[in-house]
Amino acid sequence: MTTNNNIHIHEPIIQVSKRDDMIWYKSWIVRAIAIILAMIVCGIVTVLLTGLDPISVYVSMFEGNFGTERRLWAMLKELALLLCVSLAVTPAFKMKFWNIGAEGQTLAGALACSACMILLSNIVPSYLLIPIMLVASVAAGLIWAIVPAYFKAKFNTNETLFTLMMNYIAMQLVSFCIVFWENPKNSNTVGVINPDSMLGWLPSIGGQKYAMCVIVVALLTVIMYIYLRYSKQGYEISVVGESQNTARYVGINVKKVIIRTMAISGALCGLAGFLIVSGVDHSITTASAGGMGFTAIMVSWLAKFNPVVMVLTSFLIVFLECGAGQIATAFDLNQSVADILTGIILFAIIGSEFFINYKIKFHKKNKEA
């Protein structure tokens, strides 16, 4: 029988424990340090791969976003679209419904918008066309999200796989429609829709064709912040995300919350599809969503599902992407080099979240007598 005197408690040399909520400004200091370290690493990589001066590369990255008014508005356009999709996936992810189908939901909205522009331009008065396009886009995105939500609520299916497969169905539907809408024929592209009449195009504001998109998403950000933080439905989303059993105990209809929240998520993705077609591209392809459905997950997660903070995380990612394109152009580099630099910075930011959420303790090794 072992006595207490013979028991040796060995503490681990390294102990990782969950950190209590870090004060917000300290978390941003950690992220800032991570970015600075990443920039140093990027400078070393730049010299090794290209022999270029890192400072000139960073200046070029800044110019790619703010160098001209045109570049500034192009950056704001990308920021608005990414932020819109990020806001869309946030309610579902806060509820711990892993909606990987934002790409397909956005494409569904874009497809409905394009169909209205092509099929109704000569039938519906111009002042009614845009509202019809908007309703159709929102409805299409909503339906695309409700299908997996219903099966999750009713049969507890795997929402990750279900929403992911819905992406591919949306892409094939777009490919199918492009065959009928080809312009010119046999080009396998739709081309610009209504280039002469501009029917269904969002109007310019102050001569800026992307201004309407920016304004709409800015208003949406405020609305989503209020909805998630102060509304009863926002509270229900938080409770379901924490524990479905707790939600049921306090009288929340979990199935109803799942379907309603995914309906909102899909509707906002449909809105993003509307903005892409009506406000930006005036066309549609299988790549119209541009991978934003997946990038938005990272934006939402880094912001801890806070719509206001999402503005900053969206800006950071768009800044890096636009800057990477400018680096490749200005220095005649392969785009892969610019993407490597972007990847290093993003990896550092994501890695910094570990130190924000966890703390590491080092213990001295016990010496046995």
Omega of the bond leading into 307 within 30 degrees of 0 (cis): no
CA-based nearest residue to 227, from 238, 216, 217:
238
359 in Cβ contact with 27 (< 8 Å): no
Q: What is the pLDDT of residue 13?
A: 75
Q: In the predicted model, what is the mean pLDDT of residues 236-258? A: 95
CA distance 116 to 267: 17
CA distance 169 to 214: 29
Q: What is the pLDDT of residue 340?
A: 85
167 in Cβ contact with 147 (< 8 Å): no
Helices 307-330 and 69-94 pack at an angle, to 10 degrees, of 140
Q: What is the pLDDT of residue 365?
A: 62
Low-confidence winner among 136-145, 216-225, 317-326 (lowest mean pLDDT): 317-326
CB atoms inside a 10 Å sphere around CB 43 = 17
pLDDT confidence bin for 366, thresholds 50/70/90 = low
CA 224 to chain centre: 15
* 75 has pLDDT over 50: yes
Q: In the predicted model, what is the mean pLDDT of residues 307-318? A: 93
- pTM of the predicted model, to two decimals? 0.90
Percent of the chain residues past pLDDT 90, beyond the cut: 63
Q: What is the pLDDT of residue 6?
A: 57
CA distance 306 to 20: 18
pLDDT confidence bin for 54, thresholds 50/70/90 = confident
* 188 has pLDDT over 90: no
* 369 has pLDDT over 70: no
Enter the DSSP assignment of 158.
-
CA distance 159 to 155: 11
CA distance 104 to 147: 12
* 249 has pLDDT over 60: yes
Enter the DSSP assignment of 14.
E
Neighbouring C-alpha atoms within 13 Å toward the C-beta of 39 = 15
* 2 has pLDDT over 60: no
296 in Cβ contact with 92 (< 8 Å): no
CA distance 310 to 296: 9
